[in-house]
Amino acid sequence: MEILLAVLCPLAIFLTFFLVIVAGAWKVFVKAGQPGWASIVPVYNQYVFVVEIAKKDMVMFIATLFIPFVGIIPCMDVAEKFGKSKAYYLGKEVAQGVT
């Protein structure tokens, strides 16, 4: 019984966080006019986010796949599309790492 509890508790915590992240990504895609299911398909979600939502080219898409921290650029553009400034987005990212 203890082993079952030791497995199920972390699994429940993981699934809770996973579902919150999926729900948030789904809402961002729907708000941007894209299908929500696209947010849960690996690699395709990055393509839709960079090329379709942020309106960047294929070079930027490939760069976001292979070069760390390049994904910040399309994220700042999407934040601007949603009415937030680039500084707001960067501040949010920095504060996220601090807390």
Tokens of 16: 């809770």
pLDDT band at 37 (very low <50, low <70, confident <90, very high): very high
Give residue 88's pLDDT: 86
d(CA 89, CA 96): 11
End-to-end CA gap in the chain: 36
Does residue 99 have a pLDDT over 60? no
Q: 10 Å Cβ neighbour count for 54? A: 22
DSSP class of 62: H
d(CA 80, CA 63): 21
pLDDT band at 24 (very low <50, low <70, confident <90, very high): very high
Does residue 16 have a pLDDT over 90? yes
Tokens of 36: 């929500």
Does residue 39 have a pLDDT over 90? yes
pLDDT band at 75 (very low <50, low <70, confident <90, very high): confident
pLDDT band at 8 (very low <50, low <70, confident <90, very high): very high
